[in-house]
Structure 1
């Protein structure tokens, strides 16, 4: 086992990630390491990696198109109206405002798939409100991270469709076919864990009022009142159209494309700004899309080494066929990998390649396998310094320079979401095992 290509490459990836080497380089070096240890020439290992990247091209295109759609929704001005609404409706209701932010953030992954693009628009104008109400911004960070994670884990629309489709494809590709409906049912387990974590953060850990810190950067004053206009109506229609096509055709690519076309044709965003939309959309989501491609290539190299079976046998000698112990190992590895690379989506093909063979040998049910793959991949997304789920909230909450990325976002979200997720995975192993 000391010279197992899969094990050594995973260790290389983890070490490089923990040393803050960019995830793209970490995955490339891990892929080449797996090939070298298995006796595959570097040129052949590179070819295998590139060939594997092609399998995730549809997912990558979905990310990029959603990024462009998010930019166009931001340019429509509709988010300014939302800011005005929140300031008016929640003047002195702390808990209601925090939970409303979690609710609104949830829309960003499914109903209005703008991902983290809404945070720099929505949150900075509300910092005045947080200070006046003496809200602990760690509670707000937890609420925003909940909204960025819970929907894609639990709801099979928008990014949730991407996530659950990736789980299905990864399981199918590794010899454990599963229906999409079964994946959706399985994801209710980690979804419940996220809700528990949110309530603990908001109503227990950070429930007390705190004195606001002295701002390092001057806060911008709220924008002038904006009135509803035809562009806002057309933006809503574009969002509805994108969602309808996505559900009808079961295609996130077609849904995002329809939304983009409607906004351009309706002149909500002039065609002359097309280059700007493309550039900003790629800047927002292109990195994640490319990480997904390389993760698919890495998984392909691991399969071709032929060392996965060795790792399976070794794992079974340690864990036996106990679902609980296997779940503990998988969740631990998933937590470490996702903390390092900062992407739950990119973790799925890696974990599936490593553990589906173990599940098959141990007789783990298809439903439990989906629960463990989905939960283990989600572990670490909250709390990872490199994750959009933490970088997004910090970008908004630190507009005045008083919110620390690690201690005010990463640590709170790590504690309140990873612990419940880990425990719910073990509970699922007991119930479904």
Structure 2
């Protein structure tokens, strides 16, 4: 049936999406019913994650997609509804703890922004724009990309605020990017790839947690039964090639896939104010802000708690007059508002992973993969990476995937004859694949939170799909090469 001619562009897109959703859901249901009819049991993990991805691609809200897929996957595995809900609820506490941490670092990020550092940075970049007709401004575009890469690396390894900097730094620069016609999908890829590469390669901040406290610890815990011992110096070396694959994906996104100009409508939120002078930053404000950042980092390392570090940094900034004492509630509420959606989805994603674990079908999935391999090292490495990618898409968290994959991947890798370095590369990359690009990943959620400040950046089409394709395919290929060479 043709679309009515009276509809505007947005209404036509919405109606087309609704029409496509019905056949998509019917096809998914038909495949399931056919498999059920012939007595073929679809692995509950595969079904749950596939259903979640399908619903997200059909523009169903991520939170609803996660809950719906989790409950249906639980029912498919043999649980009743009460048991599926219980498995979902039992794991929410872990996500709530992480969500609270993100709220706190959001408040800290807003407090840092009140110092005026980011306003000055945005003004400096905007003032470089040549507003004359026909001006190319290519230099400004590369300054913006370099700024995002630097901020991403610092957010993981030096000032551990993770993705909280994105909703603070990007909105003031949207007007500049609109003038430059920068494709925001390229920016999403730059952010996702830079953040992922930082914590997967550099052993400080979040990198120390992933590389040493999670990856190295699991390799040694599981590997001791097989006389496998790894040292801290081996881990960054093993992850070097997989990380290079991520960076290659980022370069492809910037210089090829999304290199062409893309038009965006400039709205009041992103209007350029190049002629206005930014607020001045006194030396005492600068020193105080740097002190708060340093103390927050020290406390995070000492107490192994991002929440405590961010809270102490927030307190320092409030006591030293970066913002008025009676504005504390406003600053904290602004940070809460900024991170609320991310915190909620992280919490729900924990419930989702709880149901996946409760199905008891992750181990059979990985074991079936091992059975398919035989003694073929090349095929084994490829299947291990692909299964890891699929599992982590569902969790949206590479940190949570390592302990799940390690008990099966490490014995399998040793049996196939992989070296300790190759084993580390396989496990570290398999767990990280799918983090950038998962609908529930903090990385893609953070990118959307900043780039959609004016309502012109879709989470699935503009963040999830671009980051998934560019951050993961290169890493998968380079991780496979690393496994074969190391």
TM-score of the superposition, structure 1-length normalised?
0.77
| Structure 1 unaligned residues grouped into runs of 5+ | none
Please tell me whether the aligned partners of residues 168 and 179 of structure 1 are also in contact (alpha carbons under 8 angstroms): yes
Q: Of residues 169, 187, 190 in structure 1, which corresponds to 2:242?
A: 190
SS in 1 for 2:426: helix
In the TM superposition, 1:224-235 aligns within 5 A as 224-229=277-282, 230-235=284-289
Assess if the C-alpha contact under 8 Å between 1:344 and 1:377 holds in 2: yes
Cα displacement string for residues 139-187 of structure 1 (whole angstroms, at most 9, x for unaligned residues): 3332222333222222233333343333345546656675544433333
> Residue 213 of structure 1: which of 254, 260, 263 is its match?
263
Aligned length: 423
Residue 79 (structure 1) aligned with residue 118 (structure 2):
yes
CA RMSD of aligned residues (A): 4.2
Contact 2:71 2:84 in 1 (8 A): no
Partner in structure 2 of residue 97 of structure 1: 144
Structure 2 residue aligned with 1:236: 290
Matched, 1:383 2:437: yes
Moved more, 344-353 or 222-231: 344-353
Q: Deviations over 1:64-102 (max 9, x none)?
A: 543443343234332212212322457630334323322
Matched residue, 1:263: 317
| 1:12 match | 48
Q: Which moved more, 1:138-147 or 1:243-252?
A: 243-252
- 2:222–2:406 CA contact under 8 A, matched in 1: yes
Contact 1:178 1:366 survives alignment (8 Å): yes
Does 2:306 align with 1:283?
A: no
Which piece of structure 1 moves more, 289-298 or 347-356? Answer: 289-298
1:61/1:289 contact within 8 Å kept: no
CA–CA separation in structure 1 for the residues paired with 2:111 and 2:126: 24
Deviates more, 1:81-90 or 1:271-280: 271-280
Q: Pick from 251, 257, 260: which aligns with 1:199?
A: 251
Kept in 2, the 8 Å contact 1:170–1:348? The answer is yes
Kindly state the Cα deviation for residue 224 of structure 1 after the two structures are TM-superposed.
4.8
Rounded to whole Å, the distance in 1 between the matches of 2:251 and 2:88 is: 45
Is the 2:49–2:393 contact (alpha carbons within 8 Å) kept by the matching residues of 1?
no
> C-alpha deviations, 1:16-69, integer Å up to 9, x for none?
4433463753686489569847xx99769958984x788899867655543443
2:159 aligned residue: 112
Question: 1:9 touches 1:34 (CA, 8 Å); kept in 2?
Answer: no
Residues 120-151 of structure 1: CA distance to partner in whole angstroms, max 9, x if unpaired?
A: 33333323333444434443332222333222
CA distance in 2, matches of 1:226, 1:130: 22
**Structure 2: any 5+ residue segments left out of the alignment?**
1-35, 57-61, 131-136
What's 1:427 paired with?
Answer: 481
Structure-1 residue corresponding to 2:29: none
Give yes or no for contact 1:35–1:41 (8 Å, CA) kept in 2: no
